[in-house]
Amino acid sequence: MTAPRTINTVTARDGTLLHFTDWGHGQPVVFSHGWPLSADAWEDQMLFLADHGYRVIAHDRRGHGRSSQPWHGNDMDTYADDLATLLDTLDVTGAILVGHSTGGGEVARYIGRHGTNRVSKAVLVGAVTPQMVVSPANPDGVPLSVFDGIRAGVQADRAQFFYDLSTPFYNFNRDGAKVSEGMRLSFLRQGLQCSLKSAYACIKQFSETDFTEDLKKMSIPTLVVHGDDDQIVPIATTARRAVEILPQGRLSVYEGASHGLPATHKDKLNAELLAFLRG
């Protein structure tokens, strides 16, 4: 039995309402966004692909954007199960899953828990896979103190923290960068739509979760896209390791690109996504 839905929400198993956008017609491309954003972070890719004959679907993760803000369920397994609810309710088949940052982990965990019956390909963009934090299995990872600092910033003044974070997120602190104040304000707007509880809890999920076993189960063609100047999710401990684990992974490195490359390098990413989808 599929979950109840309205024109733009589906209901998770615990009653959480998940808002989604569904545009166009054709083979479905389903997007999972990064922290602390919403489905709006994918608007450039969605408009482009819908104009090129694809059905594009993106949901706001629980606690983020226009979805409900529950106290419980802010964990990677539940995020993956929510994605399964979306695909099952909309009866999506043959989908290409595209995940950015935390959303890349969500895509990997979805396949790890639910398989590939509804999925034909996947794309991981600036993804946190296989693991961000330093650990015995990831000795070159990011120190836990960095994520403790993020937690402290979110608790102290999350509006200012999100606004400040947008600078390294888009590499606006690099020499010669053309700063978009609108892009920074959009990041802030989306971040503040996220509940404080969900924003805080998700930090542990994107930093500490080990997706190694999930990546091993991704037996479908998988494109890994990453900027080599990503200041948020370092390429050396994520994308370069992920392609060594993925059964059919291929790495595409964007020279000088930031973590926010779906916005800063949208034309390049759009063209590469279209080629991958058609290939």
- In eight-state DSSP terms, residue 178 is -
Nearest to 185 by CA among 204, 157, 209, 159: 159
92 vs 25, 85, 168, 170, 218, CA distance in Å?
12, 10, 36, 32, 18
The reported pLDDT for the residue numbered 7 is 76
User: What would the pLDDT profile of 210-230 be if each residue is shown by its tens digit?
Assistant: 999 999 999 999 999 999 999
In this prediction, residues 254-268 reach a mean pLDDT of: 98
- The residue among 34, 39, 42, 46 whose CA lies nearest residue 18 is 39
If one counts every other C-beta atom within 10 angstroms of the C-beta of residue 92, the result is 19
Percentage above 70 pLDDT, the chain: 98
| Mean pLDDT value of segment 121-130 | 98
State mean pLDDT over 161-187. 98
User: Three-state DSSP class for 18?
Assistant: strand
Q: Which of 33, 59, 100, 259 is catalytic?
A: 259
Which pTM does this prediction carry? 0.96
User: Which alpha helices (DSSP H) does 170-265 contain, by range?
Assistant: 181-193, 196-208, 212-216, 239-245, 261-264
Please write the tens of the pLDDT for every residue from 27-59: 999 999 999 999 999 999 999 999 999 999 999
> pLDDT, tens digit, for every residue of 69-115?
999 999 999 999 999 999 999 999 999 999 999 999 999 999 999 99
* Residue 2: predicted pLDDT: 56
Residue 6 pLDDT grade (very low, low, confident, very high; cuts 50, 70, 90): low
Contact present, 95 and 205 (Cβ < 8 Å): no
pLDDT of residue 137: 85
Helix axes 76-89, 102-114, angle to 10 degrees: 70
Q: Whole-number mean pLDDT of the chain?
A: 97
Angle at which helices 102-114 and 196-208 cross, to 10°: 70
Domains, the chain, ordered by start: 9-278 (3.40.50.1820)
Catalytic residue at 259? yes
Question: From the candidates 32, 67, 68, 101, which is the catalytic residue?
Answer: 101
Q: Are 247 and 215 in contact (CB under 8 A)?
A: no
Q: Give the model's pLDDT for residue 234.
A: 97
Q: How much is the CA Rg of the chain, to the nearest whole Å?
A: 17
Q: Is the peptide bond before 36 cis (omega within 30 degrees of 0)?
A: yes
pLDDT at 4 over 70: no
Which of 166, 230, 258, 265 is an active site residue? Answer: 230
The whole-number pLDDT of residue 278 equals: 97
